[in-house]
Amino acid sequence: MKRLPLLLCILLTGLVTSAFGKLDGTYMNEARMTLKTPHAAWDEKGELPHKKILFIMPQTASREIIELVQRFPGFEYEVVLTATEKSIGADDIYNDPIAGLSTADKLQELDAKLARDYDLVVMANVDFSILPDEQKFRVISMVENGTGLVRIQSREHWNELRKLPYKKPYAKPLPRPDWVAGSNGLPGTRPENFESRIFNAWQFGRGRIVEIDYGSGYRDGVGLTPYFDYTTDWFFLYETSQVFLAQVLYYSSGVELPPFSVRQDKGKFVVASPEKTTVEGRIRQPDNSVIRNSLDFTDLPAGKYTADVLVRRDGRLVNFGAFPFAVESAFGAVSLETPRLVRDRAPFSATLKLASPAQDGYSAKVELMDAPYRHVWFSKTFPLEAGRKEIPFDLENYRMPTIGGYLRCTVYDARGHAAHAEKPVVFPDYSLEDYLQLTWGQVGCTFNPAFGERIIDRLGWNVSLQFFKEGDIENALRNEKLCPYICRIGLEAGPNNETRILRKLWSERKENMEQLDTLNGDESFYHPLVRKLWSDDLRRQAEYLKDLSPVLYNLGDENHYTYDAGFGESDKQPFADFLRRKYQTIENLNLEYGASYAGFGEVPHLRLEAAKNEGNLVAYNDHREYIEKMYVDMHHFLASEIKKIHPGARVGAEGSPPGNLEEMIKGLDFWGPYSGMQENEALRAFGADRVRTIWWGGYCAERSSYPYKLWEHLLQGAINGHAWFLINPALGETSHSGDLSEADYLRQYMPYLDDLSHGIAQLLIKTPFPDSGILFYYSHTSNSAAQADSRCVTPDASMNPLLRYCYQRGLGFNFVSPNTLERLKNARLLFLCGTSALSDKECAAILDFVKSGGTVLADANIAILNENLKKRTRNPLGELFGDLTFAQAKELEIQPYQSTNGTLTLAGEKAHVVHGNPGLRLHKVGQGNTILLNASLSILENNSLPESSLNTFLDQIVKSAGIRPPAVIPDFSNNLMVRPRRAGEFELLGALVREKDLGKSFTAELPKEKYIYECRKGLVGKSDRLVFKFSEAPFRCFALFDREQQPPVVTAPAQVAKGARALIKISGPDNPWERAYRITVTAPDGKEILHRGKTIYGKTEYPLDFAFNDLPGIYRISIEDAATGLHTQHEIEVK
């Protein structure tokens, strides 16, 4: 789930802050130099004047400070990072648990820092009004006494920087310095009045006030430089922005750097600088690399460049500048026509267009590059036919490992002059990895694209859940797959209990809203107009989203419904139709209702409370099923509408209650539940082939030293993907701060997250659970019955203790339901937990299971209602448990429980027991046995007496049913979770404990000696005992083999050419397709190429491609078997 209910959040926040203290907020309150990004060298020795600066700016933009100081380390800084542009702090349940983020904390920090001396105060994208009056006065007084003040904004062009609320600071304007002309080279859009807005300065006392108003737009992460859209040459353009910023800051602090001027003359930049200074120059190209270490641009290929000027005196840097320029083609403009989209990496055609006809000796070089790495995967050169202006060409047999790429065409004339054109092309990729890694938020949520390297390359989180606009291909160019959040489904009740459809996150197109308003709030989803409007909207979104690699379509987070709805005019006929489909004939309905209605339209539609008061549990259940069906039908209908536009799309929802889980997942491809033990296991049992995720991660109330939630859900088998909430920098629950460094808690998680993504998660997901013969009966109708009448036991009451028992003993199990009764055929032990509502068919199957030799353990009040909640006057399971009817059943009471029957004894200080406390009832029926507890286990679990614990009691039942666990595990901890898995050649045994059990250990007894390997670590030894030590971490995972294992045997070429493929073949184990292998690639420079690494499962071949512009030399390939931790290295020379 994504959000906790508000009241619970408030309570948890109170616990976090008062009982345990606040979470460390250092990463949110400081700008830290923990991540260095590539940049041009400017003042790397810190030779320019050193200035102390206080930056007051939003948390999201703190990366801009780091980028500045990387280039100009003479700027020594302190920060006050604000919550937003107009709020210095944040006082909400998401930020309160973190130290230093509240308004009071921020005001205290501001007060303390403004009491210090600075050369400069910079307020960037924050309103001056957020300062208290006392601090406003303090800042102005500091300026009057010699401190500079810089105010910067980068907002939309109509949103101009507001002036200070004083007149005197603006009394003495300063002339504009010559270097401000360089602002014409800044990237981004320009307001019409750019020249008057970009730079204004005033003298106030001994200090300067400078206002910079870019007016170029905004995105989180922008604070000190102008905003511009992401492009492949982002770092090249950003370099110019940082140089301009540094000039502004030195000027504002009162430093007059020695002036110089620059002009172009005959293919060179000529620099006039003061006496006794020297000038160095270089020219950068769009990938931000230096193409020449001079200011001579003669014979450069046509294109965009920047000339960097470094002025030195006595060898020390004293001034600098960056001057963008363009080299025009000697033969006119060159352009490309390409398809916007190429599916399935199919051959495609493009057209090269010249401004003037080609002449003899002209040639073209075509290159296909990936994004964002710009590796070249296709390259060919061909002559151009003289006299032609348009030259079509084809691309086939190319490789493209990313979602987005660029087609680049460079034209050469006979003298070697060159010009080029480049266009993006999208190559959709709908594949899902064995271990999906999904994030709430996208890498484009912050300005600096280095964030993509941290999220996608380093962490492997390459699918983003977010809202995506038409025409935006940025995610494709960052190699990020999509899970578009296209709506939120909510069935709500109007003032007269009519159905209303939530519109909060639905695309509110004006014309659609006007049509919807004609229904006056009576909006049953079965109304044709409601369905049409929703269909139109989702189909419209799918039309543009389908091209951007949506691997999942998300119908909502925190979808919801209420049983209070469903009573409007537009629900009358749909409800009658629902009854008709359910009961087939009115006679069948009358039999259940005990009525004599003439038709389905006459059946009264009772509200739940009225139905309960009348004792009409059938009507009660019918309304619940009607609402649940509408909720399910809405999901299924919208999924089918999306698939009409995007055949093969995977559609589902997450972080939402399912209503009827089995029905919901029938028409969906993925689901993420509200996390709960029973529902998690049911989702695994009935939706194993669906994509399954549960949000976890940055929630303040859940943070610890270890990724417990992820371990738990993977070990449990509830999920087959990792869903992290959230990545947007500088938000309270985020993974990263505004400076793009990982939050400290995430940094603690990362070694464990790496272990999972590098093979352990794939093993847990793909290795099947053993069929031990234990089944839990899952009855959705019985859950409804427990809400309808207190005589019906809540299924969770006994199911959760029994699930915990299975976890503690390492027992495999599965679920069975009315839809999967065939599973009973191979079972030995069946748990009936709160199954008060069962059909005759279900009862017959259970009876046959027992007579055929199975054992049933039941809690209380079994089968007293049928599947429609009709009260039974005769119990169809009377032969097993006695002929208890609904009228005879009583509500369970809390009493001491002590019962012995034969060899079985169970006792507790208190338990929820059947009236009269009849105790255990054992009965043999046919070849099988039944055990009736006449109690539920919810209270008894933690109140059993030492001489007869629940675990001991259950051990006897499991043993008598002929079930043998894969390992004998002693009593250790109530929180222990051990889940076994079994492949053809090995068994997998994982265990998880809680923090209170760290430092402890237990020993599991194996049926025979095994070679024991700790996953990703190596051989432990050969033994019939497996010791689980939790001295370092609470999660351990072992693979058990009959034979000693060897490292993977790898076959691959020793040499390949640039642009070629090396096919890595893996052999060695008898069943290599049951293994997960982690492949890492290290370049000749010793750096791991993160985006070439891969974890594969069920494959014995891995194609490793080398780009045409890869470094030549020796590449080291490491292949690790995740199950055993054994690895092999292979070297490939790229020539």
Give me the DSSP letters along 37-88. Answer: -----SSTT--SPPEEEEEEEEGGGTHHHHHHHHH-TTEEEEEEEESSSS-S
Please give the mean pLDDT across all residues of the chain: 94
The pLDDT of residue 8: 37
The pLDDT of residue 616: 97
Band of the pLDDT at 506, cuts 50, 70, 90? Answer: low
H/E stretch holding 746 reads helix 744-755
The pLDDT of residue 19: 34
The pLDDT of residue 179: 96
Band of the pLDDT at 514, cuts 50, 70, 90? Answer: confident
How many CB atoms are located within 10 Å of the residue 275 CB?
Answer: 6
Residue 266 clears pLDDT 70, i.e. is over it: yes
The pLDDT of residue 330: 81
Residue 20 clears pLDDT 60, i.e. is over it: no
Say if residues 342 and 423 touch (Cβ distance below 8 Å).
no
What is the pTM (predicted TM-score) of this model?
0.95
Dist CA 632 CA 493 (whole Å): 17
User: H helices within 899-1000, ranges in order?
Assistant: 950-960
Tens digits of per-residue pLDDT, 197-212? 999 999 999 999 999 9
Tens digits of per-residue pLDDT, 904-954? 999 999 999 999 999 999 999 999 999 999 999 999 999 988 878 999 999
Q: How far apart are the first and last CA of the chain?
A: 50
Q: Which residues contact 568 (CB under 8 A, 6 or more apart)?
A: 494, 496, 497, 498, 499, 522, 523, 524
Angle, CA of 534, 539 and 542, to the nearest 5°: 130
- Starting at the edge strand found earlier in the chain, the sheet holding 829-832 runs 814-816, 774-777, 829-832, 855-858, 928-932, 921-925
Residue 511 clears pLDDT 90, i.e. is over it: no
Say if residues 323 and 403 touch (Cβ distance below 8 Å).
no
Nearest to 179 by CA among 290, 293, 61, 311: 311
DSSP symbol at 171: S
Residue 875 clears pLDDT 60, i.e. is over it: yes
The pLDDT of residue 13: 38
The pLDDT of residue 505: 52
The pLDDT of residue 606: 97
Residue 597 clears pLDDT 50, i.e. is over it: yes
The pLDDT of residue 21: 81
Q: Which residues contact 1085 (CB under 8 A, 6 or more apart)?
A: 1111
Report the Cα 323 to chain-centroid distance in Å. Answer: 41
93 vs 1000, residue with greater confidence: 1000
Band of the pLDDT at 507, cuts 50, 70, 90? Answer: low
Band of the pLDDT at 5, cuts 50, 70, 90? Answer: very low
- Domains of the chain by start residue, with CATH: 50-252 (no CATH), 261-327 (2.60.40), 334-426 (2.60.40.730), 488-549+558-650 (3.20.20.80), 774-960 (3.40.50.880), 977-1041 (2.60.40), 1049-1134 (2.60.40.1930)
Report the DSSP beta bridge partners of residue 873: none
Band of the pLDDT at 782, cuts 50, 70, 90? Answer: very high
The pLDDT of residue 879: 97
Residue 889 clears pLDDT 50, i.e. is over it: yes
